[in-house]
Amino acid sequence: MSVILGSGEHRYRVIENWAKLPPELELTSDVGGVAVDSKDRVYVFNRGPNPMLVFDREGNFLSTWGQGIFPRAHGIFIDADDMLYLTDDGDHTVRKCTPEGKVLFTIGIPGKPAPFMSGEPFHRCTHTALSPKGEIYVSDGYGNARVHKYSPDGKLLFSWGEPGTDPGQFNIVHNIVTDADGWVYVADRENHRVQVFDGAGKYEAQWNNLHRPCGLYCHRQDRPEFLIGELGPGMNVNINVPNLGPRLTIVDKKGNRIARLGGEQGPGQEVGKFLAPHGVTMDSRGDIYVGEVSYTNFRNVNPGKPVPPKMRSLQKLERVH
């Protein structure tokens, strides 16, 4: 019997063992990001020896690339022309690539971070998004508290943000998306909120009642809905507290909750549970793909314990129509 998450118009069937990989490409690493192109091909940006794995929507393996280029996959964005923007927080770079893996240009200096909390790009950048005009936003990230805006050809225009908890300040700026009107949505992870800005970096609003928002995706530009991957507790004193995630939440453009998927009973590898939903996306049919940093999360919440040799780090949830 299949497991169903959600309710009403937002019900999803968990598809077990969706990704069909040949044995030599077995996925036993964190999935930093996942994205879908115009043909519903699914790109899985992971921290294993084969950084990019590409599937069709049925989970059939198509190709792999990126070997030796990406030391620590973190975020992936695909534009309207199916170009990929790959954010690597270990390399402190954003690379624009073709669907076949050809690097078109790189923002940042590979392997050379800016000084910690200097505000200069990049120190462990996390994700990338494009404005309707093709301008590039980069969230930055773990060693900065900053959003940078670039021209379409990669020239820095301006930046905003600083460490803190007030509006316009960040405590791990972890993800970023835009909508068709040019609004910018930033997952301010350890402040437990998503902040909303205009294209000039002016603070407009924030969405609360979230727990460590990590993954962020804007679905349907005409009437946008936002999919948010929330991490669960990260401290020993609250690791087993129920109803704090990890989970997926769907909200409208005002931040009003539409649906919440999972998280009531805490983390797990059982079907219908999550460990650490880090990258989230939807395809043209509204099916959800979730990339999880399961291996990193296990180390964080189980210090000193050996990491299991194989954990689930990729899931598909099929919308029930």
Cβ(44)–Cβ(34) under 8 Å?
yes
The string over 148-169, giving b where at least 16 C-beta atoms fall within 10 Å of a residue's C-beta and e elsewhere, is bbbeeeeeeeebbbeeeeeebb
pLDDT, position 234: 86
pLDDT, position 1: 66
CATH at residue 226:
2.120.10.30
Structure tokens belonging to residue 55? 């599937």
Q: Count how many domains the chain has.
A: 1
pLDDT, position 59: 98
- Give the containing element (helix H, strand E) for 300: helix 294-301
Q: From CA 121, how far away is CA 277, in angstroms rounded?
A: 26
pLDDT, position 240: 83
Per-residue pLDDT of 252-271, as tens digits, reads 999 999 999 999 988 989 99
DSSP at 306: P
Q: From CA 137, how far away is CA 123, in angstroms rounded?
A: 15
Left, alpha or beta for 262 (phi > 0: left; psi -120 to 50: alpha)? left
pLDDT, position 271: 92
Mean pLDDT in consecutive groups of 10 residues from the start of the chain, 321 residues:
89 95 94 98 98 98 97 97 98 98 98 98 98 97 97 97 98 97 97 98 97 94 88 88 94 95 90 96 96 93 87 96 85
**Phi, psi at 12, each rounded to 5°:** -135, 135
14 to each of 18, 33, 226, 262, 295, how far by Cα in Å?
9, 19, 20, 11, 21
Q: What helix, strand, coil percent values describe the chain, rounded to 5? A: 5, 45, 50
Q: Which domain holds residue 308?
A: 4-319
pLDDT, position 299: 87
Q: Which residues lie closer than 8 Å to 119 by C-beta, 6 or more apart?
A: 144, 145, 146, 159, 161, 162
pLDDT, position 178: 97
pLDDT, position 296: 93
